[in-house]
Structure 1
Amino acid sequence: QFSILRFFASLGLGSLYIACNTLMAEYVPTRYRTTVLGTLQAGWTVGYIVATLLAGWIIPDHGWRMLFYVAIVPVLLAVLMHFLVPEPQAWYHSRNDLNGQNTNTQESALKRIFADPRNRKMFILWALTAGFLQFGYYGVNNWMPSYLESELGMKFKEMTAYMVGTYSAMILGKVLAGYMADKLGRRFTYAFGAIGTAIFLPLIVFYNSPDNILFLLIAFGFLYGIPYGVNATYMTESFPTHIRGSATGGAYNVGRLGAAIAPATIGFLASGGSIGLGFLVMGAAYLICGVIPALLIKEKQYDPQQS
């Protein structure tokens, strides 16, 4: 039952992530696009904090079902957005250009992506990058509370407070990552955050103590928020407007295979060793997801405000 529910939840989350990022990328000028999209990603983390606080408040007295009912709020917001938020001009221009060239707009999006060698290369590179990013991110995100509770001996409410600290640092990391990417470049900022996270995970596993764990988690939260603060802009600027939504959505959501595999991988490793061992594997995934764009993916290949 949980697997079925998680499937439908992920179907919605994966679609919304791409739709919102593509929409905002085509609205916001290039000079401060990553700052805006990084701040948008910070809202995702605010939701984590709210959910964590609600979990600590609701679950002990009312159970997990009551917490699930809160999820109706974003459904209502999505319906309002459908009617109140218009399509960006770049999207209309792209559609008109395709029609003017007598291009078959009903042609398979996958065919349009893979027919062009450049688009095909970017799709494959971003699918790999997204896979390793989500393998690391969702592996750590799903298992960090269990790690704090089972291996570091924290109580549920104490663990909740530590996770709120980590997520708060992640908000700062995403916002600053957006600003850094506009000033220093998407590629450098993305690689800095991913490789920094890869280095920091072993520090948490091998050098944690009751005195320093909070500081380690806050520093870690700051670092592992950086790739997601840059990811949306970096990806959307890698594809032309007429395939942008399909290409970014396809590449990112192919990468969600990593998100599906990671929790099970850590669980398997934890059954034979410890959750900390799984975190080291997540660190390796972060390293790979930082190296691929650093070496192979140029930034600002297309301007989303132009068709």
Structure 2
Amino acid sequence: MAKAMKEHKVLYLLMVPGLLYFVLFRYLPMFGLVIAFKDYNIFKGIWASDWVGLANFEALVHSSDFWNVMKNTLVISLTKILIGFPIPILLAILLNDIKSMRFKRVTQTFLYLPHFLSWVVIGGIMLNLFSPVFGLAGEVFRTLGIEPVNIMAKKGSIFWVVIFSDVWKEAGWSTIVFLAALTQVDESLYEAAKMDGANKFKQMLHITLPCISSIVIVMLILRIGKVMNAGFEQILVLQNPITMESIDIFDTYVYREGLGRGSYSFAAAVDTFKSVIALILVTGANKISKMFGEEGIV
């Protein structure tokens, strides 16, 4: 180990910033989760506050909002995976087939650009797009002779606005990993397939997807691990009192309870519950992937 570190000391030095980030902002804050088992008082501090055991978790399960928040979080997250996960793979395959490098770079730039916009900006774009008064959707409704509908204020339609905006923002950026994986596919396989008369679709089905299946499985497992995080910033920007019931998730619930009402112990219990469920999901997905012959993540 010491010999390897000496030989590759530059590489190990490059790891230091990343390791510091995870230690300072991921691992050390985990000690604060102890307040989930206490009746936390900001004046007494964490260690002097009274222990209450699992009382905060019992309060969470018996909360009137718990099942609605759980349902919304799972439905939104799973729909994002179902719709949003395959799209970057398809985009990466299409981009990989573009022969003109200039056109490919311009296309990639336009696909990546939404990722760098904040959700506040995206929220403004969605408002301008779907507003019944000054939005594009309102103009379309009026042109068709239909009474404009406020899509952003309807419980049913706001769900699809959430899905659409997330896919539009992140699909392009997610193609980076799959594009990198596609560079490792042996070109001779495509040449042999062409000689056998395989069209583009069959080449994708029998060569491209099997060759990148390992990275697809790894990315899917990581995505499943984030099921309980349905997008705090996005939901906070897009929700309003009318639509809150249909898109309220654990993250916004924690925000209201923790910062809004000062129930820090209860909010910590909610976050701990989320983390435990996420651990179970990612562990289960990893084991299932190994059952099908894939390497998984560990």
After TM superposition, the score normalised by the length of structure 1 is 0.35
Higher relative contact order (CA 8 A, sep 6+): 1
